[in-house]
Every structure is written in structure tokens, then in C-alpha cells.
Structure 1
């Protein structure tokens, strides 16, 4: 699957300036006359390794290692913060001054491509393309060209408080039907079968969208010009959640429940399943409930099995000049190689985007997250993705509160969200 971006008829000032730096994608990159790659490449790297000092040391060593292997390329890795990242990158594109390569998300890739701020990178991984998880490449593919090389990915899967299921004599549920069957049994014991974080602070990629995908639905049409979450599959997904809420299968405050493990019903032992769990949250669950009480499983399954897994993309900006193109390709290839991904994932605790890179951790956890990687959905990149989330989230809350039926909620949300898409 590739994404198609609806182009604006009149480009913004950012786009106009950014396009002045774009060279033709069909032009071959220029190397040195003697066949050696030469040039200067600036990379903006955002926090991947949480410890600031460790991050600084890691990326300084990366510069050293790359330049040792490519003595005629000057690599400058500039560490940035997440604060105002969109504004920072947009300003750099407008000024035609800044990074040749930048770490961004698929949603950001869709946005910057829409204003002419990115260039294709297919050539950078031509020899290794087949070893990447297909979904990570799909997330960065627009109109059949690749606009970002996946550096790492975050992935989320199911975690269980096994103790509550053991006490009730229930096998760990892995499908919607099994969750439905377990819900009333656990509710009689004052336990919600599943967690749901309905607060608008939580991205829908980690709340409603996984259930939408498990039902076989989509957020947007394949060409990205229409909203599609109000389909029969969307109604089925929201009805599943509403039915659980009505019979005590979700926490009472699911419509507004905040992000975080500490102080949550899950940590109190009154919830059986967290459907989208990161490794960091898994550690927090075990600290609260005990090592033996928490088990990791594969993503839940409705009509389909799916979860959210978001790749970090190294994208080539319109700032990169033709004379530095080959050098930029070498940087992209080096940073997404098997050896480097192994080092980065060890240091950062993330997951690989390559199938030939081993996943670390406890064997049972490793197997579960490996299964999650195989069915991870990177989201549906669209320049309006975040605005659509902001429209949809309150309507999902209304359905969970019983103020609207699932169909009413999604129909109303779709009408507003379509206006957002049409305006953009």
C-alpha cells in the first residue's frame, strides 16, 4: 500500500522556499571524481536514548565511526529537543538552511512532503530494501516513492494481569469474543476485563485506532481524501467498547482515564488487560503487580490482528544539495544498517525495523513483541491526521458516556473531520 497526498493548489511560503532547494529526484547523485563519496551532511537527531549524557556520547561515537569508514564525508549530528519540533523544522525548510536529514514521524513526513520539503530516498537502501519490515516502509511510501528510511520503531502489544484471570479460572483472552465472554465474569468480582485510556491527551493510535484496525476498518480512504472511520467496521469497533463499558468490562472512568500506570485501576489490580503496552509500561506494571502476575501476549484479534507500531524515519530534506546527495545516501544506509540498528536498539530500548536484527529482552517478552512487529500498523499518515484525531476523540468519549450511540458519534465526527480534510 502506498499513500497518496492531496496537493494544495497554492503552496505556502514554506513550500515555495523549500522547493527552491529541491533537485530533480531523477538526477543521479554526484560523488567525487575519483569515485569516493565526499560532502558535508547535517543530521538533526531528536531524543531516542532517554539519558541525555548517554545520548550525547552515543551520537558522538556514531559521528566518529561513520567518518572513519567514510573519511571524505563530514557528518554533523546535531541533537535537538522535541519542544516545538514542527515549528523548528518548518522554519528550517522555509529558510533553506538546516539539516540534510531529519528524524521525523510518518505523519510529519506526510505534512512536509505536502509542501515539497522532502526528497525520495529509495536509492539509499536499494540493496537492503527486502530486509525491512514491510509496514515500516509503507509508512514512508507516498505515490510509490520512499520518503524516509525507518531507523527504529516503537511497538505496543497486549499485557495481562494474569492473577485476576487465574482467580476467576479463565484462560487469558486473545480475541474480542473471548474478551466479551470474560467481561461479565470479572465484573462480578469488581474487575474490568480491559483498560481504555479515553483522555484526549492519549493519541488515538493507542486507544481507538487499534480496535478500528482489528475490526478491518481504516481511518482514511486509501487515497487520503476522505475519512473512513465511520464505516460499518468503525461502528463495530466503537460498539465493542461501548458494550464492554455498559457491562463493567472497562473502568468506570474509561472515557476520561489518564495516561500512566501509577495510580491507575490497572496498578490497583482491578483491570485484567492493557491492550497497547510499551516495554516501559510493562516494567511499571510488574513493579506494581509483581513479576509473576504480568504476562505479555500478542496483539488482540477481532476480524484481524493488529496493533500500533510507529517507526522513526530518517528523511532527506529539500535542503540537501545535489553535491551532497551521495554523502547523504551513505549516512542513511549506515544508520539503518544491521550493525547500527543492533547498537541503537540496545542503547535506546526500541525495536528494529529490519527483520535481520535480533530483539532483546526476556524470551517470552521477546516472542510477544516479535509477533507484534509482524502485525504492527504504523498509523495512516495524512497531513490532517492530528486534526482529525482532535475532532474524533470527544465523540468517542460521548459514546462511552452513553450520550450518543456509536453510529451517531462516528457520523457526527466524520462530518466535522471531512471538513478538516477538505480545507487542507
Structure 2
């Protein structure tokens, strides 16, 4: 039979942790000082197409432009750019990233590749952003390359992204090296968010109460979904990148709800009414934007400013209420959470502002802030569980004390009755 208080030797545990620490140090030293196995690392200059591009205006006039760039083109109007492939051209692929654009590649006047989701998307006005590849060969050397870009929203009309030329696998390798970190972080946060939700639910079942960390887990899961939806690699992650791209907008519109639940539970309902009304506003905005999207009136990208306003108001209200609590001594225990929320708010503000520009940050700031907030909340939850456990133990001791007192009283009553009976007999 195993002893109840059996413990493994501290020497054994210490040796194990020392061994793991030395292995970690070895791995880090090898990574930063060892031989780089990727000797032929692909550089941007190796795959970037350096040809001269001409913009053919709708009136037939021509203008030489720089690529990448952003030009004044009305929504729904097709932007046409052309270049002549070099005489020594031998590459097997050309590629460009679509920013909610339909794209067509023509070589020597013949349509080579076309990307559009018009005929098979269920909702929305625009094709999802993704990398579009056009197969080429040495036989195309010296021929005219014509690229047509069309979008139904002004946000990305006139955007011409970098054009790559090379082997398709090399282009993808460069894209992964450039943007893979954000995707890896997104998957890690998604996994951490799901584990946080499940762990909080399990704690809730054990202690018969709701833990605020559950709603932080939902915030992390929704934030990670947004990051994956914005990932440059999303067409490799899921078979339908359009759905994932749409989902990231849905997450932005609905994320105020778990944020408000999280704050409300931490503050124990002190600001329940304003949180409730703001949550209703977020849900109402989602329903309106959904109807506009389904009817083709306006895409989510066009109604995104409204979601950003509600998100900003949400963070401002939460920040304000926490500051009000800090003025009261009994609520100052939440100061670590306030610091984490400030970091998260700044990160989300940076990410939200970046969505109005061509170059996106793709969630790095949000990812880092979410991990910081999770760490802070884990500490807070451990303290709460410790407090609950101490309270439970005190209640158990008090219950046992009352039981002992009750038993003692019963014994005294029994003894008294026995003595009285004996006296009467005598």
C-alpha cells in the first residue's frame, strides 16, 4: 500500500530539473551559435520581380508605376498593369497577393491564370485575400505580362502588392519565413485559449462557481482566430480561406462580449448595467453587419469601423471602471489585471489602426499581450483557488467543531438522564 504522504526525494527532483535546464541551454546555444542548416536561405531579392510596370488607365493613357504601391482607383474599376518579361526569363511561377481582389494574369494576350470566388462564394462582394500563382516557363521570355486587379471595396482598390518570380516552393518558403512566426503564435494562443476554457470549466465544476478565466480563454480563442484569419498563410491552413477570412471579422465584432463578461465577473457585478447595454450594442452591430453582408449591401471590411468603435468604447469603459475601483482600497487587489488590460488595449489599438493600411502587423502585439494577460490571470486564479480552499477548510473545521459540540451536548444530556434515573431508583 502506498503511503498517503509519500514524496519523491528532493535530490531526485533537483537532478531532473537540472538535467532539463542543461538540455534547454544546450539547445539554445546550438540554435544561436551552431551551423545554420539552411545555407541557401531565400532572400526577398532572390524572388522579387524587378521589371518595370506600366499602368494603363481606363482612358487608354499610360503611366509608369512602382510595385508595390497604392494608387487612386475607384472601387469596381479594373486596374491594368503591364510589363515585358526579360529575354533571359526562365522562372516557373509568378505570384502576387490578392487584397480582396479578383486577379487575372495574361501572357502575350492569353489568359493564363484567373482568381475569383464570384461563382462559388455564398456571401460577400469580394474574393478572399490570398496568394495567386501563375505558371510560367522560359518560353514566355520577352512576352508581355498583363495583370488585372478588381475589387468592389475602396479599402483595397488600387493596391498592388509585391510580385514574386521563381519556383513556387521557393516563394512559399520565403512567405513562411516572413510570416510563419505570427501563424505559429496564433496556433499557440488558440491552444492556450481552449485549454484555459476547459480548465476553468473543470474548476467551476469542482468548486461550484464561475471563474473569470473562462472568459479570458474565450477572448484568447477569438483573438487567435482573428490572427489566423489575417495570416498570410491561411490558404495553407484551411481548405476554404474565404470562410476563415470572414470569421476574423466576426471575431472583431463579437469579442467585446467575452471582454465584458470577464470584467463583470472580476468586478462582481458592480457595473453590470453599462456592461449589459454595451454587450447588447455589440451584438446588435453584429446582426446589422451580418444582414448587410448577406444581402451584398456592404462587406464586413466596409462596416468594420463600427465594430472598432464599439471595441474602443468597451476597453475605455472597462479601463474607467477599473480605475474607479482602484480608488477604493478593497478593490485594489485587481491592479495586476488592470496593468494586463492596459497592455492588451494598447496592443489591440495598434492592430486595429494597422487594418486601415496595406501593411498589417498580423497579430504579434495582440498575441504577446494576450500571453501577458493570461499569465497575470493564472496568478490571480491560483490566489482565488487558494482563498476558496482556505475558506473551505475553515468551514470544514467549523463544521467539525459544531459536530463535536453537538456530540458533547448529547453525551452530557445522556449522562444527565442516566444520573437522574439512578437517583430516582435509589
Same fold by TM-score, threshold 0.5 exceeded?
no
- More helix by percentage: 2
After TM superposition, the score normalised by the length of structure 1 is: 0.24
Quick one: higher RCO (CA 8 Å, sep 6+), 1 or 2? Answer: 1
